[in-house]
Structure 1
């Protein structure tokens, strides 16, 4: 997902996953301030079929955004999911295909290996070091209660009262107590992928938020697709 700045420069802002020929699954916080723009194609576009953020593949104009109606409810960044609609359908090829999303019962045991991808920062606050080439990182599913408790403690500390809560509609992934691997700023909206031996690659999360990048104590937090599967199918089938 690319945003035009200053009327001339296109920059890579968020990730997304093609789920039908006309719809991309992403997160809400990337687009919530643009959802009422009458012609979003003037400032947003989608590049498909390339692992490079600024070259290759094909460019597609954005028709509109569908933001989850309960985004930021009952707490900040809850229901952080959106559908990006394209003006023209994507042309499928060996480099452009729709992804399989997790169903309502698709939840993984703690410790399961997953993969996150994106073009975001290499480290917190280092936007100048963003890669032009798509990156991927191997992570593990983190126990939900551990993630909830750690972020609740962090939020209780001075200066952190505005941090989101980890809710049941979120899932955590990282390398707990070691850190060093994570998604970062600019990766938001991209997929968290489970390589299912029977079903292939399944999108089971959307990069949403976290505390810094690669923190040993606080893993990355993702939208839990299984909770939103019905909403995604209903709104992504337009």
Structure 2
């Protein structure tokens, strides 16, 4: 799934990835749809393209009518002692006639094979155009200690970068990490962040979707989600792989 906005003349500018978990609801990462210190930015005219390997054509499209961000999300402030909770559920304006994906029953543990999907930049310095076709990378989960530089916290998985060169980049945020259970690919996580400005040079952190199962399902069912008390702290830096843009300049 490609999460898109109208940006500088491009009505379908790709910002992040995500997955269709229910026919009218998608799951992505919170930093894709918030500005520091944590306010959602609904004025951008979010919409999604689902069911196509090409982010510009095919599949089905739908508008986003509601954004629900996990109440613990605070742009990684307080990590690793506090959970980052980089997670959001987006309600669509219609139900799509497409296959949804299941949540994995358990988090990806070290040694598990995972498949990463996304339309992020493929140049190691994070420059250059986004690929039009969906990219995939088979890798594995590794011990959390290997993502210490990215301040990995509870509810997150550390994912390896094959050859020390391959991994998520700008535009891959929210894209899924899938793992096989009983012969089927299921959702194990969404791309959150790394700890280096150079894409693929270190391991990456994925929000562990199975560990937020209850919140995801409650949100999808419309169960009220409590808001944080008081102002959210200002983060030290943008922790993720989202494409930087100035919401004030959106056309």
TM range (shorter): 0.7 to 0.9
Q: Secondary structure at the match of 1:195?
A: strand
Aligned pairs (5 A) from 1:114-125: 114-125=114-125
Aligned-residue RMSD, C-alpha = 2.0
Give, in whole Å, the separation in 2 of the partners of 1:123 and 1:233.
36
Q: Secondary structure at the match of 1:110?
A: coil
Give, in whole Å, the separation in 1 of the partners of 2:117 and 2:51.
15
Q: Secondary structure at the match of 2:168?
A: coil
- Structure 1 residue 74 displacement after superposition: 5.3
**Alignment-derived partner of residue 137 in structure 1:** 137
Structure 2, gaps ≥5 residues long? 223-251
Q: Secondary structure at the match of 1:101?
A: coil
Q: TM-score, normalised by structure 2?
A: 0.77
**Alignment-derived partner of residue 99 in structure 2:** 97
Aligned pairs (5 A) from 1:148-167: 148=148, 151=149, 165-167=151-153
**Aligned pair count?**
211
- Structure 1 residue 165 displacement after superposition: 1.7
**Alignment-derived partner of residue 156 in structure 2:** 170
Q: Secondary structure at the match of 1:61?
A: strand
Q: Secondary structure at the match of 1:229?
A: helix
The 1:35/1:108 distance shift into structure 2, 3 A limit, reads closer
Structure 1, gaps ≥5 residues long? 152-163
Aligned pairs (5 A) from 1:152-231: 165-175=151-161, 178-196=163-181, 198=182, 200-210=184-194, 211=196, 212-215=198-201, 218-231=202-215
Aligned pairs (5 A) from 1:24-43: 24-33=26-35, 35=40, 37=42, 40=43, 43=45
Give, in whole Å, the separation in 1 of the partners of 2:16 and 2:109.
28
Q: Secondary structure at the match of 2:16?
A: coil
Runs of 4+ in structure 1 deviating by more than 3 angstroms, as ranges, are 6-9, 124-127
8 Å contact kept, 1:143–1:172? yes
**Alignment-derived partner of residue 110 in structure 2:** 110
- Structure 1 residue 10 displacement after superposition: 2.3
Q: Secondary structure at the match of 2:174?
A: coil
The 1:90/1:74 distance shift into structure 2, 3 A limit, reads same
- Structure 1 residue 82 displacement after superposition: 0.1
Q: TM-score, normalised by structure 1?
A: 0.81
Give, in whole Å, the separation in 2 of the partners of 1:111 and 1:171.
12
- Alignment partner of 2:17 out of 12, 15, 25: 15
Give, in whole Å, the separation in 2 of the partners of 1:32 and 1:235.
17
The answer to whether residue 81 in structure 2 is matched with residue 75 in structure 1 is no
- Structure 1 residue 226 displacement after superposition: 2.5
* CA deviations over 1:181-211 (Å, ceiling 9, x no partner): 2111101011100022x15111011101012
8 Å contact kept, 1:35–1:64? no
